[in-house]
Structure 1
Amino acid sequence: MTEAYDSNQELSVKVGEIGEVMHLAKSGRLIVKLNAAGASIRPGEVLIDSAGRRVGRIAELIGPVSAPYASVIPMTDRTSRLAGAKVFAGGQQTRPSRSEPKKRQQRHNKEGRRRY
């Protein structure tokens, strides 16, 4: 188990290693070979490196059930440096929810009439 710092929640989270980055595919996705601990991971989860930085989000699981791989959408520009790096589970990626929808801004022309 490794302890990683989560800057969004201001607390440290214990996570286990789930796999290793094999290579960068032509599609731009990272291919991660999952270990036994990574077999329970699901699409949508965020992967982090040993320093706690986000590596990417799992798009899909591929390969046989006995030896699965994950196709990961990178969240960094430095994908070439990630080959061979150990990755850890970082939780689900969530979008911030808005309590109110944005209000449509009304514009007025010179005469004071509304235009949209």
Structure 2
Amino acid sequence: MTAQSCQKSYADRRWRPLEFEGGDHVFLKVSLVTGIGRSIKAKKLTPRYLEPYEILERIGLVAYRITLPLHLFNVHNVFHVSQLKKYHLDPSHVIEPEEIELQENLTF
């Protein structure tokens, strides 16, 4: 019983409530539980989280509906809060493509 209360106190120190609102952007965890791992054929070197997706609405206390791209059409779009990670908007994340000038012989 003492060991259990010790472990609970350690876990409670790191616990933080996760809440999102509609319009927030979140990363989606790649795992077999979410179904994302199966649909993209996850391997060892697959990223742990996928690109930021927008939250559409909150469903219940711990579930959120998010927008998914067309290539993930076979995955349900409602996820538990533990499968989401907050995305903090940073302008340095946006990479502008360089303009390429083509010559008449189609070389650059």
Q: TM class by shorter-chain length?
A: 0.3 to 0.5
TM-score normalised by structure 1 residue count: 0.33
Q: Which has the higher helix share?
A: 2
Q: Which has the higher strand share?
A: 1
